A and B are shown apart, each in its own frame.
Chain A
Amino acid sequence: MCLATVYIEDDDGRREQVMQDVAWIKPEDGGLQLIPLFGESRLLQAQIESIDLMNSLIVLKRMTTNSAKGVSADHRDEPA
């Protein structure tokens, strides 16, 4: 499946699924806008850790407050 499943990975390597059937990813406002084929897009203050095209799997890491260009950790994820 070309459309990707996106996970967020924490510092201990644990992964949490954040979105299925992601069609587009666009850098925006210091983070990444995830756009699925259906449903709401999301803006995550995160960066790409890895892209596995064989398994349609994208792993993100949350950005720290410093690396997120001043975005507060409490307001990192907002609907796009």
Chain B
Amino acid sequence: MKRTENNQKIAVCGKGGSGKSSVVALLARSLQDRGARVLVVDSDESNPGLYRVLGFEQRPAPLLELVGGKKQVFPTFSDEAAPRESLLTRKKFGIADLPDDYVVERDGIGLVCIGKILQSLEGCACPMGVLSREFLKRLSLQEDEMVVVDMEAGVEHFGRGVETSIDGVLIVTEPSFDSLELAEKISAMAAEVGVERVWTVLNKIRSEEIASRLRKELAEKNISVIGSIGYEPEIFEAGLEGRPVRRDKLETDIGSMVDQVL
């Protein structure tokens, strides 16, 4: 199905600690409020807690298990008796096709997890990068289905081509030099892989003066600012406790941000 504004895959990117997971959860809830069926893709192989930020009691089984797990790819494929067909050998599938063990869902929001690095010396996360790329490429959306991807921090995922089938990149920018530099880098890399829609949302903003400085610098970098989230004690408390943000306790209205994404 051709993409419309109500049918997009959005990657949330930014510096480590900038608030990507919080923005993912707020965006997912707001999209669901507006009638979308939302699938959140946990593409961060390090941070473990997104499922709690979204209000789930447990994480779904990692999709990497569908290919036998990182250490089992070869034994799985070389075993004549092992079934070779799985979701990930199909060229195209929909949200409804996701196997039960690999998705948790509640109140119109689903969550899948690509995979996590679990042990020291287990090697790099390349298979997870490939899996993220192929999962997003093969996932076909119906009308009013939205995907929100919680990317790993930084830009390595661009090197892996994860964004090749992403419709929009939302950069979370906090008030720091590194975050601004990274926003510019992400914007350029998104354009290089053909992503047409790139926005940024400011986060941890303590004053209008800080917001104005960031908006000016981002405007000079030709990056569109579509929202600003204050330095919200509720977001920090929720992050500390590993629980969803109580949106009724927020001062910030993120409605305009969602308006511009849709």
Contacts and interface: CB of A to CB of B under 8 A. Distances in A.
Interface of A: 1-3, 21, 23-24, 26, 35, 37-41
B74 A37 contact: no
B67 interface: yes
Nearest to A41: B77
Contacts of A21: 130, 134
27 contacts: A1-B126, A1-B129, A1-B130, A1-B159, A1-B160, A2-B123, A2-B124, A2-B126, A3-B126, A3-B130, A23-B74, A24-B73, A24-B74, A26-B74, A26-B78, A35-B73, A35-B77, A37-B73, A37-B127, A37-B130, A37-B131, A37-B134, A38-B89, A38-B134, A39-B89, A40-B84, A40-B89
A80 B78 CA distance: 9
B238 interface: no
Across chains A and B, which 4 residue pairs bring their CB atoms closest together, nearest first?
A: A2-B126, A24-B74, A23-B73, A35-B77
A40 B89 CA distance: 8
Nearest to A20: B130
Contacts of B61: none
B223 interface: no
Q: Which of A2, A23, A38, A41 has the most chain B CB atoms inside 10 A of its CB?
A: A38
Contacts of B134: 21, 37-38
A17 to B, nearest CB: 15
A1 B133 CA distance: 12
A47 B73 CA distance: 22
Contacts of A2: 123-124, 126-127
A44 B134 CA distance: 24
A21 B138 CA distance: 15
A67 to B, nearest CB: 25
Interface string B110-138: 00000000000001101101110010000
B160 A37 contact: no
Interface in B50-99: 67, 73-74, 77-78, 84, 88-89
A53 to B, nearest CB: 12
